[in-house]
Chain A
Amino acid sequence: MNEQLAAALSAALDRRLGPGHRIEDLTRLSGGASRETWRAVASDAAGARQAVILKRDPPDATGPAGGVDASLGVDRKTEHAAFRAAGGAGVPVPRTLFLAEPADGLGDGFVMEAIEGETIARKILREPEFAEARPLLARQCGAAAARIHAIDPATLPGLRRLDADAELAIYRRLLDRFEPPQPGFEFGLRWLQRHAPEDRPETVVHGDFRNGNIIVGPDGLRAVLDWELAHLGDPMSDLGWICVRSWRYGADQPVGGFGTREDLFAAYEEAGGAPVDPSIVHYWEVFGTLRWGVMCMMMGFGHLDGAHRSVEMAAIGRRSAETEYDFLRLIEDNGNKP
């Protein structure tokens, strides 16, 4: 256990909730060089125990880890605000406990309650304990998305606007860094530039709403996590992203591997979301598939240029071929209309 971090965490809890907190079982869950997620059990002076999550950029972070969040992500203060706003709008999310301050010595970060359940997509899609949850998830995700898109943007001044053109400009710059040029990705980018839907509404968008960023229990969806890519944009981008084949993890169903588009769209509309135009969701599915391909290439080139040498990153680089095949197929299915 990281004693220094445990001491800082219990002191931060003492400052806010009164003395006598103890931290046990502090464990690092995930994260790259610049982002960490920790889980711990906090007990107060009376002995009441609560599992908590610390999400932070550590004080000694050496800079962006090279993920897409290096260019697109929000800071932890804004992510904390997004969790709170989402909870207020009825989106299932963990309750946040506090935003870290410099005096806490925790780095930029926040603490929230830990919600029991599974986040690993392959387990959600295959383990028997989620058999009854799986048929519910597409509808529950549709309803959650509608509530995300109903968040009042005025409550989240830290979010930046990012429409299709602006995001494609980012991918243009990234693709220019990769040698040699990729005709397939050039074709996809060109198609997305020429088919960007016009006059789209702008709402709060989660930005990474997919299987892998949700907590699922045997009863279904328990929480929507990872708000670090939240922004203001086309709400249909969230619905397209959760349909991207990469998030089906080999399962057949189009929505996250667990459900149908019909269920997703119907529940979205029933929960107050605007009527869904499947052709616009299709656009965003093509978009999201290319987006994930560019991220795979970023990781592969992060290995090649020495920023993050790792056999895992090297192997992920070659997974861009999967996304290239998928978005070209999606464009073909759409009749490749001029």
Chain B
Amino acid sequence: MSQDRPTAAELIDAVREFIEKDVAPELSGQKAFHARVAANALTLAMRELRDGPATDAAARDRLRNLLGEEGDLETLNRRLAERIRVGEMDDRADATLDHLLKTAEDKLRIANPRHLPRAGLE
């Protein structure tokens, strides 16, 4: 890391705190709502900065196994999307679903962790 502190994540956190503590209380109605949305978006971005790299690495490892191919994460994801689309993963639907569910869980831990623990789906 060649940059100084506060890091990108720490700066984002400072802005989030500013919006929550100083800006939002001054607003009302839709602008107040949007201020909360903005603060939540920054919280999401911080989680992504923190956990994104490990999540991406795990997804890439799973994709290499599932597809039997090498490549970076974006290439492998494009390859999987294409193979699902043309039916080439139909005979390995369970393994595909297993990978996709793990990926979806990892995405939710960043996008909205509160959506995860409640099973909710019966």
Contacts and interface: CB of A to CB of B under 8 A. Distances in A.
Interface string A318-338: 110110111011111100101
Interface in B62-105: 74, 77-78, 80-82, 84-85, 87, 89-90, 93-94, 96-97, 100-101, 103-105
Contact of A321 (B84, B87, B89, B111): B111
A322 B90 contact: no
A190 B86 CA distance: 9
- Find the residue from B80, B100, B118 having the highest chain A CB count within 10 A: B100
Contacts of B103: 183-184
B121 A333 contact: yes
Contacts of A252: 118, 120
Interface string A278-298: 000000000000000000000
Contact of A311 (B38, B105, B116): B38
B93 A336 contact: yes
Given A250-B114, A321-B104, A328-B100, 6 more contacts: A181-B78, A184-B104, A189-B85, A194-B90, A319-B112, A324-B100
Given A183-B84, A338-B90, A332 B97 contact: yes
Nearest to A189: B85
Contact of B97 (A315, A318, A336): A336
Contacts of B114: 250
A190 B84 contact: yes
Nearest to B35: A311
Nearest to A324: B104
A174 B77 CA distance: 18
A248 B120 contact: yes
A322 B41 contact: no
Contacts of B90: 190, 194, 338
- Interface residue SS majority, chain B: helix
A184 to B, nearest CB: 5
A208 B87 CA distance: 31
B84 A328 contact: no
A186 interface: yes
A248 B82 CA distance: 33
Contacts of A248: 120
Interface residues of B, number: 38
A182 interface: yes
A331 B97 contact: yes
A254 B96 CA distance: 27
Contacts of B37: 311-312, 315
B93 A338 contact: yes
B24 interface: no
A331 B78 CA distance: 22
B22 interface: no
**Closest CB pairs A-B (n = 10):** A181-B81, A325-B104, A321-B111, A321-B107, A186-B84, A183-B80, A183-B81, A318-B111, A186-B81, A322-B115
Interface in B33-60: 33-34, 37-38, 40-41, 44
Contacts of A318: 41, 44, 111-112
24 contacts: A180-B74, A180-B77, A182-B81, A183-B80, A183-B84, A186-B80, A186-B81, A186-B84, A190-B84, A194-B90, A248-B120, A252-B120, A254-B122, A310-B34, A312-B34, A315-B41, A318-B111, A319-B112, A322-B112, A322-B115, A324-B104, A324-B107, A333-B121, A336-B94
A144 to B, nearest CB: 23
Contacts of B44: 315, 318
A98 interface: no
A325 B115 contact: yes
Contacts of A254: 122
A245 B34 contact: no
Contacts of A184: 100, 103-104
Contact of B84 (A187, A250, A314, A333): A187
A181 B77 contact: yes
A329 B84 contact: no
Contact of B77 (A183, A315, A321): A183
